[in-house]
Amino acid sequence: MLSISIVTYQLDVELFHKLLDSLYASINQLLIDADSITIKIIDNGNQEQLLSDVCSDFENNNVNLEIISGLKNIGYGRAHNLGILTSNAEFHLILNPDVVLDLESLSEGISYLSKHEDVCAVTPLCRDDKGDIQYLAKCYPTVLDLILRGLAPKKIQSHFRDRLSRYESREIINQNSAGKVDLISGCFMLCRTDFLKKIGGFDERYFLYFEDFALSMEMQKYGALHFLPSMKIIHYGGDTAKKGLRHIGLFISSSIKFFNQYGWKLL
């Protein structure tokens, strides 16, 4: 019925425990046997013992949970593919370790996909830990959009409010109703597994950043991507510019790969 992949690197134990608490609570709302659900945690940070200690608190939930370690850091998309390409479930959830799910998130998402066969993936209404909306859905970016959104300080962003609002699909998200979007974030993507497997999962040429945009572009060959406000999460991540020069370098190199693959738009 459902498979889930989570890629970890530098584990925040407290936050990861919150994720698993919320994930199992959301699973319990599904009217299916727990043993039809598989969770694969792919360890990109060589933290097998730490992961095992945290996951031991959840061993009695009848969910098939597996930790895949010993890989070093093989990249975000390639790691998720270990869960995607081996899945036999109808639906697959691509999930970040810094997310907390609403109780009804999974039931709402799976119900929506079951009723809308033309939709191949859904993205949730997302808030940060302060309660502010994070705009996960995006329009196809220009180079200027990415510089402003990913690297510019808030003061500069404020002068481009209308432009960023359009890029972040705010008109759709602020209406609080389901609707079609162009690109969705990899922190939480609930997808039809058969379409994920048809495109070969994530493009493994992307080590980090833009693999979710590339996946979105490929998934749209088979169906629509929708924003679903009744599927709610809290996301504690984001803000590339604050993560240091290495992350900025990865962001830039991956954006170049994306534009070379799908077409450049400067302004």
pLDDT digits (tens, 9 = 90+) for 38-51: 999 999 999 999 99
pLDDT digits (tens, 9 = 90+) for 233-254: 999 976 554 567 888 889 999 9
pLDDT band per the 50, 70, 90 thresholds, residue 29? very high
pLDDT at 137: 96
Delineate the domains of the chain, giving CATH numbers in brackets.
2-262 (3.90.550.10)
Residues 43-68: what's their mean pLDDT?
Answer: 92
3-class state of residue 29 by DSSP = coil
Identify residue 21 by its one-letter amino acid code.
D
Are 195 and 120 a contacting pair, CB within 8 Å?
A: yes
pLDDT at 239: 57
pLDDT at 166: 95
Are 97 and 234 a contacting pair, CB within 8 Å?
A: no
The answer to whether the pTM exceeds 0.75 is yes
pLDDT digits (tens, 9 = 90+) for 195-231: 999 999 999 999 999 999 999 999 999 999 999 999 9
Residues 104-115: what's their mean pLDDT?
Answer: 97
**Burial (0-12, 13-18, 19+ Cβ within 10 Å), 192:** buried
